[in-house]
A and B are shown apart, each in its own frame.
Chain A
């Protein structure tokens, strides 16, 4: 179409002087003609358009929070911390599915006599330790080097992620424990788990997280497996009050020890 809106008419339209069918005509024409679209559009002040665009840009760019992030922000974690935590590899669906699978297997195994119950008590406390190892570190985090060279305290990143991961895998373990036929056994994984996780974190002060987790897991699993092999009453041992109390004391000691680290205190005190 070679006809275009004359400029005075366009201005009259923009200022609201044109009404009725004439306005409708102009509007219908604008829909089909790019030149007249810019003729009309030019009359809008650029800073108004820029301001709206800045908002559009932000809404379009802003990353959509994952389920983990939304959960964390609802609990009161600041948005930026939540993003860092939620990107822990062991919070990915694939990890959680694997964890759930292993725990489901352990829960099923627990229904087959005493050996099954022991297996559950071996697996359930270890799973969160493995998950913690998968939360941070050179082997698992593709951006490890960049995160070390940045000013965000690595201790804080480690602890926040470990915390989230322990809660997530802990919840799964608790759900699995509902399937365990013996009530005492069903509750007996918690304190050993707490002990193992806290010792892993305490040791990470000197050892890389992966080594620390592997060491702790081995120290827990090997003696129990050895006991099973020798037909000792491992089950009675683990659920005994003495063992459970020891686990609690170990956990408390590990936490106290962690708090002697000034870097840790600084990292937790940090407010965003």
Chain B
């Protein structure tokens, strides 16, 4: 099968492609796939160690993109919309087939930050970054799932394999700890 050429993002933007997909254009779907399947696969792979499950989730995600393309509101990045579909499929998949989840390891505290990393962290999160890294792995995992990945507490519980109540408790503790640190 011939590879779809790498089209610079400016040529046809994602929102236009998604409109074409909702119009039944299969080629537009393939183009979207070539643009997004890669990073999605990697990001999901960091939350689930089983590559078979991840592959299946990617497949389900893009079939869902095909079927529900018209539901994209036009607000926000298409990448974020696709992520929303993908991560929820992962939650469903993990529930069906209990897979090893990745839980973040404790971060080495005195890592030398490169200039880029300083810029990166400064731009995105400021002081929050260090404080986040000082959270225990369990607390950081719930913060990542709910705040960064956009899951509900119920979904986060399913993904991490812990009861919803535990998610809420850990979120509360994480918030307290962060508030203390940043105060």
0/1 interface trace, chain B 93-118, chain A, CB 8 Å (1 if under): 00000000000110100000000110
Q: What is the distance, in angstroms, from A28's C-beta to the closest C-beta of chain B?
A: 6
Q: Which of B33, B121, B123 interacts with A53 by CB under 8 Å?
A: B33
Q: Which one, A42-50, A104-112, A196-204, A229-237, is touching chain B?
A: A42-50
CA–CA, A112 to B59, complex, Å?
Answer: 61
Q: In the complex the two chains form, is B132's CB within 8 Å of A24's CB? A: yes
Which of B42, B107, B116 is close to A41, meaning CB atoms less than 8 Å apart? Answer: B42
0/1 interface trace, chain B 62-77, chain A, CB 8 Å (1 if under): 1100100000000001
Q: Could you say which residues of chain B place their CB within 8 Å of the CB of A29?
A: 120, 124
Interface 0/1 of A110-135, CB less than 8 Å to B = 00000000000000000000000000
Instruction: Determine whether B144 belongs to the interface, using a CB cutoff of 8 Å to chain A.
Output: yes
Which of A12-20, A217-225, A252-260 contacts the other chain? A12-20
Question: Which residues of A, 202-227, contact B by the 8 Å Cβ criterion?
Answer: none
Is B26 engaged at the interface, CB distance under 8 Å to the other chain? yes
**Closest chain A residue, CB of each to CB of B121:** A25
- Nearest chain-A residue to B102 (Cβ)? A16
Q: Mark B26-67, 1 if CB is under 8 A from A, else 0.
A: 100110011111110111001000000001001100110010
Q: Is A245 an interface residue (CB 8 A)?
A: no
A61 to B129, alpha carbons, bound, how many Å?
Answer: 45
Question: Which one, A3, A16, A38, A48, contacts B119 given CB within 8 A?
Answer: A3
**Hey, which chain A residues are within 8 Å of B120, CB to CB?**
3, 5, 9, 22, 25-26, 29
Q: Is the interface of A mostly helix, strand, loop or mixed?
A: helix
B180 at the interface (CB under 8 A from A): no
Bound-state CA distance A21–B133 (Å) is 6
CA A30 to CA B9, docked complex, whole Å: 13
- What chain A residues lie within 8 Å of B129 (beta carbons)? 21-22, 25
| Interface 0/1 of B109-152, CB less than 8 Å to A | 00000001101110111001110110000001000100010000
Determine if A42 and B132 form an interchain contact, defined as CB atoms under 8 angstroms apart.
no
- CA of A244 to CA of B38 in the docked complex: distance in angstroms? 71
By the criterion CB–CB under 8 Å, are B46 and A16 in contact?
yes
A264 at the interface (CB under 8 A from B): no
Query: CB-CB < 8 A to A57: which residues of B?
Result: 26, 30
Q: List 12 A-B contacts (CB under 8 A).
A: A20-B140, A21-B125, A24-B125, A24-B132, A30-B43, A41-B36, A41-B39, A48-B41, A49-B41, A55-B59, A57-B30, A60-B26
Identify the 8 closest CB pairs spanning chains A and B, nearest first: A41-B38, A34-B9, A21-B129, A25-B124, A21-B132, A40-B39, A20-B133, A44-B38
